Chains A and B, each alone.
Chain A
């Protein structure tokens, strides 16, 4: 068995702040008065509503789905009435509204027929059927990337996968939802991992845990031992050094295998599939219990709540409801972040709903951002960058509008981990500049494609006109000779 670990470039040792939210045990958040379910909680095409306003739905029922390959359905997290379908505020960097369903719970929490009994059954053996179940359960990457898992688990016949990585690293400060999951559902994670290993045809599966979570690693090892002989040769638990962003997919694969995902490529190009532990547990629920993805563990933490803790929350639950369950606000003026302090998304208010991507609600005191000073090109950012970018150069190109240079210097390789901004002595919000550059380049690309299309149309029209004119000329001459030129008119 391989024991060696590799290192990724850069990265930071950050204070964990994880103990506070682990003091209280995991609890289930009670039903809120209303659930707001975004139709797009994943990468890919938005799901389309399959219910009407006023319709009564049961827990686990499909509310929306899309025919597109890259998409994921949305299920009812409880039984109740569809109160509205329309645009609502959702957690998104743009701050724009997006199509949502509103579900008014009836308080009975009744499952769809056939799902009432929580029974563990043998999963289907047919890979296509397994993938269909994962797809129909609405499972997406719960580590935050929310890419539809069924797509990821369909590597294609030409691609040989040798290693499955189950990511329980959870490297961002404050977040403990995966830690909690591994402690409380270790055997489900192990069973899910064993199943997924078979599904992708990997010889080997690694459950990776950061070495600041010894209890989670021990729980997984126990579960692995209980799973018996059969799994011990193919599944292993490995602790990786605590270093942000070790939980990034490419960084973790490097640490475990020494292989680097090629630029612009995917893990499967180097024979690896990587899934989050939460996703793995959701896969277990879907294939062993026929349960769709309707809830997830959310860490509610930070100095701004009285009792930091982890909550099993139904998708669509308002953030404010979870904060109440965590003892309410401990601060007058709090700043809300969805996700961690490094890569999280600042929330404009606490009415926003939990989505499949919501791993953490961080409540901190509101603080004015330190004013940004000029870049002194000290290079601290370059030393911290896990992609070996030169953030100071990218910043220069991004702020001066030289987006082509930003692109050739690798702005699209940026994983937006925030290490560069974190170490910047001038407090420059570097990642914001890269996001801006990326969106400008993408907009420019769309514009270029549109121009190209209309140019092609114009050229084709010109050609057609020229052809027609030539044809007319021929015809004008032709009738005198043959007298039968207007046949085609």
Chain B
């Protein structure tokens, strides 16, 4: 191989490298999310174990077992905050959901790790979940508009919204302080 060809080959490899790296985008840290959910004065966290009937219910809602056995949540004055993970296509999306009196008050993507479909992180999309509740058959009572090219991420967020609403009701988050 001539020297010139070798140089071109090397240049192609060097130029190619940056596009092969996929980095996670952190939109909000857990602490920032919890602070925001409770206006800067968050309560002590509680824990819910995903076992028995609760584990089965969450499995039915997600279509598979949740990746962890225990979940930490924060509850104050009928408002609860949940940090949940669900795989969109290949990597987990971390989502923060605030539920108040069985309605979603806000849903935000905290960390997005996939290399496609990041549009689900925009408030224009996540604001669709505001005011959404569960129907008696445990599905969302409002339609969430999809995003072309981000179908799996949209479904993942919808599943997590359903799980957060279910867990809020199941945890009995009332006027704790």
The answer to whether A and B interact is no
